[in-house]
């Protein structure tokens, strides 16, 4: 999937059968762009940053939140069901690999929920 702010290329057992126990995405976020706020209902998420400068904010229950800065070579971890977004805070593309245990579609609905996905499912 490609949009003005970046791209996401996903592999999982549905399109790469040898990946029977995980799903992964190569994510690019353009300068000034944000990967929208979302969460994974059943899977933790691991990240490995290949390029750029990123900021991830993670929101937990009861008003708890943390923000982390990343650059090429850094690893990140987001526990399941924690709302998060990725922001490009640099002048070059942020490129990172996102890995989740496969659980019937870890990177796709219904296990990945976003504000846009929730609003698009509402009746007119």
Instruction: Decide if 98 contacts 47 (C-beta within 8 A).
Output: yes
Q: Nearest Cα to 99, choosing from 41, 27, 32, 31?
A: 27
Active centre residues (catalytic): 98
The residue assigned the tokens 């990177």 is 107
């Amino acid at each position: 999937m490609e949009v003005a702010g970046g791209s996401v290329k996903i592999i999982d057992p549905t399109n790469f059968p040898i990946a029977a126990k995980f799903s992964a995405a190569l994510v690019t976020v353009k300068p000034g762009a944000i990967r929208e706020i979302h969460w994974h209902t059943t899977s933790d998420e691991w990240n490995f940053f290949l390029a750029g400068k990123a900021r991830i904010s993670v929101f937990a229950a009861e008003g708890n939140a943390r923000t982390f800065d990343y650059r090429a070579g850094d690893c990140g971890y987001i526990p399941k069901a924690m709302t998060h977004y990725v922001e490009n805070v640099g002048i070059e593309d942020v490129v990172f690999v996102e890995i989740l245990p496969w659980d019937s579609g870890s990177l796709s609905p219904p296990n990945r929920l976003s504000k846009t996905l929730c609003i698009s499912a509402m009746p007119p």
